[in-house]
């Protein structure tokens, strides 16, 4: 009987020796990193910048949804590696996404929320960890009209043009509507990312271009406010400028 | 002796039956709203079928000021039962006494509405709750988190678990409030008794007003369609332009500028001032407004809003009819009042 018990215990110890947990695999990661600037300067929340029209400009809130973060392989097949993220552009925006290794020849992401999610959505049904939940959206949801604010830029200016007057005139671009969804795709040098490797792509987001570019200029004395509704034309212009402010950095 | 015991048992059953549910006693069995037979059918949301616990939680939350950022405002602050869930203000006072943009609407019979708010942009009663809860001018609740005072309330949390099987969050809050609001039915008026139930003779002046109301001379009932006295459509009735875009805000269509959802006329006597902006103080002035063909909104005024040439008798009859739409019982139901100091 004792022999049997001994054998039993010995067997169990042997089992323990053979089931050591495997070494965790290093995940394959894809990093999307945005360097946010205002012209030639770093963008800093609460700092004052100069508008091309001569007005001083204080930026207070600068956030946006990015969605359908996508890798295109050598056959140009699209692989969405993350659905949705809400980024605070003041806060060292970066997404680190674990996905299968693959060869990548193009990358892309969209600005806003796809219509399939944006229409008839209910933010209370998402877990708190989701950027689409009431808490996760943190105000980027129209409560009076179902749908999300894709991009929000709030700030203040002084329309007297004085160099010292307090900045009290509000500016607000709240853009969100299915027609304002924008897809960005960037050709990048082909890269094969192997298992366990990390591949980083850098982008620039120039907040200055959210106000003026070669194509358009938002004049702060007239083009200072849109909640999309009530001023859809300005929302379209603001969204187009915002979309044009992203570039891939080689 | 037997008789005494029987009476005692019957009294006990009656008393227990009349008692309102508490956190401990509320039932999780499906509850049937008492929708009037002459009202349209209601399709209840599958994920929020009512029961005692859900309605009780909604009732508690409806009157809970901890839902507002400064703990001073509840839904009930602007929706008082004795004014048919309105507040008598031109436009309601929200966070830090800031004026909201619009007049508080009645909450009676919301169960039958196909969409919510004056421009109709919100598709469910559940989602509607987020508008006042989170609006910076109204209750200014924090989207990132519910007040810890509320989250740490053991009674609320117990009821949340019992009602929805999860801790209190915005999912629970919006659904419980919707369950409570769907119970706010009002259909016991002189008009209902005289016209639908036929258990009460018409007041003669009210009857003349009813005939006039649905006549081709006035066309009132084209938009204020019985039995709910709304068609839930959007019209520009010729109010002065106060920069509220109305339906255009939701549709982006300039043809919708100044159009607002037809409000119900049920309990209208109790809900002054009138119109989405509260710009008309009395029912008499409302009649005068329509009689003169509106105030001539510069854009999109509905062509049916034109001078009516009403006599003094006709105006009086119309008022009598509108007053026949008051449900004096519903505005006294205890089940709609706050639960003070109850478990």
Q: What percent of chain A has pLDDT over 90?
A: 82
Over residues B104-163, the pLDDT tens digits come to: 999 999 999 999 999 999 999 999 999 999 998 999 999 888 999 999 999 999 999 999
Q: What is the ipTM of this complex?
A: 0.84
Place of tokens 């106000």: A211
Q: Of A105-114, B96-105, B131-140, give the range with the top mean pLDDT.
A: A105-114
CATH class, domain B190-323, is mainly alpha
Equal CATH topology for B21-185 and B190-323:
yes
Q: Do B143 and A137 touch (CB under 8 A)?
A: yes
Contact criterion met (CB < 8 Å) for A144 and B117:
yes
For chain B, what percent of residues have pLDDT higher than 90? 78
How sure is the predictor about A11, in pLDDT bands with cuts at 50, 70 and 90? low
Residues A234-242 have a mean pLDDT of 98
Q: Do A128 and B252 touch (CB under 8 A)?
A: no
pLDDT at residue B5, as a whole number? 57
CATH superfamily placement of domain B21-185: Cytochrome c-like domain (1.10.760.10)
Residues spanned by the domain of A143: 25-249
What pLDDT score does A25 carry?
Answer: 81
When pLDDT is averaged across residues B55-76 and rounded to a whole number, the result is 96
The answer to whether residue A47 is domain-embedded is yes
Q: Kindly tell me the burial class for residue B58, based on how many C-beta atoms sit within 10 Å of its own C-beta (0-12, 13-18, 19 or more).
A: buried
Q: Is the pLDDT of residue B7 over 90?
A: no
Predicted local confidence at residue B2, as pLDDT: 57
Percent of chain B at pLDDT > 70 equals 93
pLDDT of residue B17: 44
Nearest to A139 among B119, B122, B143 (CB): B143
Q: What is the pLDDT of residues A132-175, one digit of tens each?
A: 999 999 999 999 888 999 999 999 999 988 888 899 999 999 99
pLDDT at B30 over 50: yes
Cβ contact, residue pair A134, B117, below 8 Å = no
Interface test with A, best of B45, B117, B127 (most A CBs within 10 A): B127
**For position B24, what pLDDT does the model report?**
81
Task: Give a yes or no: residue A20 inside a domain.
Answer: no
Residue A60: inside a domain, yes or no? yes
- Own/partner contacts of A125-134, CB < 8 Å, gap of 24 or more, are A125/B171, A128/B169, A130/A84, A131/A65, A131/A84, A131/A85, A131/A86, A132/A84, A133/B170, A134/B130, A134/B134, A134/B143, A134/B170
Q: pLDDT per residue over A31-46, tens digit each?
A: 999 999 999 999 999 9
Structural domain count, chain A: 1
Q: What Å distances lie between residue A248 and A34, A97, A202, B57, CA to CA?
A: 9, 18, 6, 52
Residue ranges per structural domain of chain B: 21-185, 190-323
């Amino acid at each position: 009987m004792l022999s049997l018990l001994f054998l039993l215990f010995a067997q169990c110890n042997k089992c323990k020796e053979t089931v050591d947990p495997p070494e965790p695999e290093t995940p394959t990661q894809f990093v999307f990193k945005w360097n946010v600037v205002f012209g030639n300067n770093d963008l800093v929340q609460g700092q004052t910048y100069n508008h091309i029209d001569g007005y001083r400009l204080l930026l207070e809130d600068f956030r946006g949804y990015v969605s359908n973060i996508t890798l295109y392989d050598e056959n140009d097949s699209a692989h969405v590696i993350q659905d949705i993220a809400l980024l605070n552009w003041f806060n060292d925006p970066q997404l680190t996404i674990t996905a299968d290794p693959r060869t990548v020849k193009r990358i892309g992401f969209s600005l806003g929320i796809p219509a399939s999610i944006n229409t008839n959505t209910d933010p209370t049904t998402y877990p708190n960890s989701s950027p689409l939940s009431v808490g996760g959206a943190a105000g980027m949801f129209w409560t009076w009209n179902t749908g999300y604010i894709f991009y929000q830029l709030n700030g203040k200016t002084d329309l007297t043009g004085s160099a010292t007057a307090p900045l009290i005139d509000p500016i607000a671009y709240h853009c969100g509507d299915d027609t304002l969804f924008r897809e960005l795709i960037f050709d990048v040098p082909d890269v094969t990312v192997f298992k366990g490797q990390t591949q980083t792509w850098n982008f620039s987001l120039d907040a200055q271009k959210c106000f003026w570019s070669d194509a358009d200029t938002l004049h702060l004395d007239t083009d200072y406010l849109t909640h999309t509704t009530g001023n859809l034309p300005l929302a379209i212009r603001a969204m187009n400028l915002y979309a044009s402010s992203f570039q891939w950095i080689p | 002796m037997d008789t005494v015991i029987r009476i005692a048992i019957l009294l006990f059953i009656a008393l227990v039956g009349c008692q309102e549910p508490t956190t401990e006693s509320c039932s999780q069995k499906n509850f049937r709203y008492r929708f009037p037979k002459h009202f349209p059918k209601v399709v209840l949301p599958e994920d929020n079928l009512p029961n005692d616990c859900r309605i009780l939680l909604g009732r508690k939350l409806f009157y809970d000021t901890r839902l507002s950022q400064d703990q001073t405002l509840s839904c009930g602050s602007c929706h008082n039962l004795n004014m048919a869930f309105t507040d008598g203000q031109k436009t309601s006072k929200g966070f830090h006494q800031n004026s909201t943009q619009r007049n508080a609407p009645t909450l009676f019979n919301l169960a039958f509405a196909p969409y919510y708010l004056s421009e109709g942009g919100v598709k469910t009663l559940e989602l509607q709750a987020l508008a006042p809860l989170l609006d910076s001018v109204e209750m200014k609740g924090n989207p990132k988190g519910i007040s810890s005072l509320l989250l740490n309330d053991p009674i609320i949390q117990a009821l949340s678990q019992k009602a929805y099987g999860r801790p209190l969050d915005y999912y629970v809050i919006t659904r419980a409030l919707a369950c409570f609001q769907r119970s706010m039915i009002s259909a016991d008026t002189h008009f209902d008794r005289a016209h639908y139930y036929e258990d009460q003779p018409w007041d003669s002046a009210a009857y003349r007003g009813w005939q006039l109301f649905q006549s081709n001379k006035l066309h009132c009932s084209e938009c204020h369609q019985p039995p709910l006295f709304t068609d839930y459509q959007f019209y520009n009735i010729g109010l002065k332009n106060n920069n509220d875009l109305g339906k255009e805000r939701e549709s982006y269509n300039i043809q919708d500028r100044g159009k607002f959802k037809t409000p119900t006329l049920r309990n209208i006597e109790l809900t002054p001032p009138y119109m989405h902006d509260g710009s008309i103080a009395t029912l008499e002035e409302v009649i005068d407004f329509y009689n003169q063909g509106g105030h001539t909104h510069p854009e999109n005024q509905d062509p049916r809003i034109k001078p009516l040439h009403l006599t003094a008798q006709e105006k009086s009859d119309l008022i009598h009819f509108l007053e026949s739409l008051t449900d004096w019982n519903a505005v006294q139901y205890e089940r709609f009042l706050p639960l003070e100091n109850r478990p």
